[in-house]
Amino acid sequence: MNTIRLALICLVLQISSLVYAQHHHKPHTDGIEPYYQTKQLKDYLKTIDPDYLPYMFASEENLQWWKEAKFGVLVCWDPASVTQVALSWGRHGRRPHHSTDGKITKGVPEQEYNNSYKSFNPDKFNAEEWVKLWKEAGMKYFVFLTKHHYGFCMWNTKTTEFNIMNTPYGKDVMVDIAKACEKHDMKLMWYYSQPDWTHPLYRKELPHTEYNEQVLYPQLRELMSYPGVDGIWFDGLGLPPSRWDSPKMLKIIRDVNPKAVVNHRHGTPQWHMGDFDGPERGIGRFQTNRPWETCHVLSGAWAYNGESDASPLPIAIRTLTKTAGNGGNLMLGIGPRPDGSVVDKHASRLREMGEYLEQYGESIYATQGGPYISGPWGACTYREKKVYLHLMGDIKDNELILPNLPAELKSYRALTGEKNLKISNTKKGLKIRYDKNEMSLFPVIELCLDTDATTIYPIKTQGPILIGNATITASSDLGSGFTANNLLPQAGEDFSEGIHIKKSWKPANADEQPTLIYKWKEEQQIKQINIKENRDLRASNIESYEMKAMINGVWETIHKGYEVGPYCGIHFKNVIKTSQLKIIFDKKGRIEINKILISSDF
């Protein structure tokens, strides 16, 4: 019997390794894609009961719909929406087993926040209208917040009285949501926070065995029992898998629903557990050897925060496009009003996004990032033999040269209607020339190849980042925490899993024309520049900006632009040779610069 058991264990390990490999392809080591510290996860998998191994990852087949969807919605809504603050984080109270517990000095008082459920009666909630709106927006999956960190449950749970059945509304909204998604063919996942800051069992000292057995596991069984549910979107605040006994937790989920898709937040973020990674409020770097999803907010907060403005359409579309071009999905956060209705401005913006995707969605849905790696010039997606260039940058003279593709170009066309489009292979690279169409957000160009683009190794489109050996000075700084030097450390890295680039430069409020100057000891050859303003998808607080380079001892203007926002790229037709670069901003509000990347030619 021992021999048979040993053989079965070996077989399970082999199967688990195959499933693991589907989500963790052999990483590149030349800087094109980040190298994963997968040894930690591999070592962890060796320590768990082999019977749990088949439950640790979804199969490639079950994950396929998610990878093709590209665009989803996260609805952050519960009784606390009446407070108009960020869910849980805007509450002045206990945060058991969190690094900020006992350090909170402001926010809505805990009891007032918790008691918001006593008046919760969303008489305008209509699940079918919600789902229809998500469909109009071009969204392919719906993630609904069932429980956030402070513990209120939006369903008829048997585990706690702190749930929607004890509100004046007194009905399980999730029954209606599940029915509406099934009726309108919308994929559905439940957002679920494992931490529960108000539950007495969670407030006990660790380990959480009682809490897991009496609250966590029963709640997950309840959630997975809803018809048509496609997965769970965990939010475990980066705590290790031992906190929840994640292998057991995943088995519970997949025993009820074997096809369930599960994100990474049931373990240490850097381990890359689950079926996909999930950077927050920032576009993940180019990564095609493991699925990932950026979660961002349409209007600045993970909940209803008043009648706030939605992200401008160009920014929203650029965010979706850049995310797809880098190989990921975009899940956009929406916060309905306390009465269940969607803010009019938010609904209008979503419909505008849907109108754009109705025209150009073929360049987003079911695509992969690449084969060109994104840069300040824009981003690239592909599906089989079709490659889509999204020219989102400010491209000088409407002329762009990218590295030649290792394939024959059979045909090309501008989906967005640019005239006089000419593309040709030259000694310098793939030369693209067009007349700008003022009616389009940016050109989207389709290339038809003679071979499947999947076979093409990712192609770099910009040279080395040039700011690593530069010094930087500013006309002013808003205190020691917002100096211009914050734009230098780790500036070559985009947002990565579990890593927020929170440092930024803010000029003094009285500085009407904030200025940055980069200096190098030797002459640099500048080809592309990327500027990122703030981490939210809001309108730019910069009215205009000017770039000057020191050439032959004289400051010469090399570029003038207007709004910056979270995505601003400049691509020069000719290389700029200089040892000093000056950027002058004319502001219309308080500005915050999160990143400036200056790079050479490919």
Residue that terminates a domain, selected from 455, 484, 499: 455
CA dist list (Å): 516 to 85, 207, 585, 593, 596: 35, 51, 9, 11, 10
Q: Given this model, what pLDDT does residue 495 score?
A: 52
343 and 432 fall within a common domain: no
- Residue 536 reports pLDDT greater than 90: no
Q: What's the mean pLDDT when you consider all of the chain?
A: 92
CA dist list (Å): 504 to 477, 530, 583, 595: 10, 15, 16, 7
Q: Is residue 5 part of a domain?
A: no
Backbone φ and ψ for 57, nearest 5 degrees, come out as -140, 145
279: nearest Cα among 261, 263, 266: 263
Segments forming the whole domain that contains residue 331: 69-361
Could you check whether the bond before residue 291 is cis, i.e. omega within 30 degrees of 0?
A: no
Q: Is residue 35 part of a domain?
A: no
Measured between alpha carbons, how far is 382 from 384 in angstroms, rounded to an integer? 6
- Residue 489 reports pLDDT greater than 90: no
479 and 340 fall within a common domain: no
Q: Given this model, what pLDDT does residue 550 score?
A: 98
Quick check: 544 and 515 in contact, CB under 8 A? no
Look up residue 407 and give its DSSP letter. S
Q: Given this model, what pLDDT does residue 490 score?
A: 66
322 and 199 fall within a common domain: yes
Q: Given this model, what pLDDT does residue 17 score?
A: 46
496 and 400 fall within a common domain: no
Q: Is residue 37 part of a domain?
A: no
Average pLDDT over residues 532-539: 88
Sorting pLDDT into bands at 50, 70 and 90, what band is 76?
very high
Measured between alpha carbons, how far is 464 from 470 in angstroms, rounded to an integer? 13
pLDDT per position as a tens digit, 374-417: 999 999 999 999 999 999 999 999 999 999 999 999 999 999 99
332 and 372 fall within a common domain: no
- Residue 497 reports pLDDT greater than 80: no
Q: CB under 8 Å to 116, separation ≥6 — which residues?
A: 79, 80, 81, 82, 83
214 and 142 fall within a common domain: yes
Q: CB under 8 Å to 341, separation ≥6 — which residues?
A: 124, 125
Other Cβ atoms closer than 10 A to 355:
14
Residue that terminates a domain, selected from 318, 344, 361: 361
565 and 508 fall within a common domain: yes
Q: Is residue 108 part of a domain?
A: yes
SS3 of residue 304 by DSSP: coil
Average pLDDT over residues 314-341: 97
432 and 545 fall within a common domain: no
Q: Is residue 340 part of a domain?
A: yes
Give the H or E element holding residue 428.
none
Measured between alpha carbons, how far is 168 from 448 in angstroms, rounded to an integer? 58
Other Cβ atoms closer than 10 A to 290:
22
Q: Given this model, what pLDDT does residue 12 score?
A: 45
Q: Given this model, what pLDDT does residue 40 score?
A: 86
Q: Is residue 462 part of a domain?
A: no
Q: Given this model, what pLDDT does residue 8 score?
A: 44
pLDDT per position as a tens digit, 273-282: 999 999 888 8
Write out the two tokens for 394. Answer: 């400010």
Q: Given this model, what pLDDT does residue 493 score?
A: 57
Give the H or E element holding residue 232.
strand 229-234
545 and 436 fall within a common domain: no
The amino acid that residue 592 corresponds to is E
Measured between alpha carbons, how far is 153 from 216 in angstroms, rounded to an integer? 12
Q: Given this model, what pLDDT does residue 300 score?
A: 85
121 and 261 fall within a common domain: yes
- Residue 16 reports pLDDT greater than 60: no
Q: When comparing pLDDT for 554 and 496, which is higher? A: 554
Sorting pLDDT into bands at 50, 70 and 90, what band is 285?
confident
Q: What is the DSSP string of 506-557?
A: ---TT-SS-EEEEEEEEEEEEEEEEEEE-SSS---SEEEEEEEEEETTEEEE
Q: Is residue 55 part of a domain?
A: no
pLDDT per position as a tens digit, 131-144: 999 999 999 999 99
Average pLDDT over residues 532-544: 91
CA dist list (Å): 520 to 421, 525, 577, 601: 38, 11, 11, 17
CATH code at position 204: 3.20.20.80
Residue that terminates a domain, selected from 361, 389, 416: 361
Average pLDDT over residues 264-286: 89
Q: Given this model, what pLDDT does residue 18 score?
A: 44
Q: Given this model, what pLDDT does residue 281 score?
A: 87
Average pLDDT over residues 329-352: 98
Average pLDDT over residues 449-475: 95
Q: What predicted TM-score, i.e. pTM, was given to this entire model?
A: 0.93
Measured between alpha carbons, how far is 218 from 145 in angstroms, rounded to an integer? 17
Backbone φ and ψ for 325, nearest 5 degrees, come out as -65, -30
Measured between alpha carbons, how far is 332 from 70 in angstroms, rounded to an integer? 11
Average pLDDT over residues 9-32: 46
Q: Given this model, what pLDDT does residue 206 score?
A: 81
Q: Given this model, what pLDDT does residue 508 score?
A: 96
Sorting pLDDT into bands at 50, 70 and 90, what band is 561?
very high
520: nearest Cα among 578, 475, 579: 579
The amino acid that residue 167 corresponds to is T
Average pLDDT over residues 518-536: 94
528 by Cβ neighbours in 10 Å (0-12 / 13-18 / 19+) ranks as buried
Q: Given this model, what pLDDT does residue 1 score?
A: 44
Looking at the structure of the chain, the number of domains it has is 3
Q: When comparing pLDDT for 432 and 489, which is higher? A: 432
Q: Given this model, what pLDDT does residue 157 score?
A: 98
353 and 227 fall within a common domain: yes
Measured between alpha carbons, how far is 444 from 542 in angstroms, rounded to an integer? 26
Q: Is residue 74 part of a domain?
A: yes
Strand partners, 506: none
CATH code at position 387: 2.60.40.1180
Q: Given this model, what pLDDT does residue 491 score?
A: 60
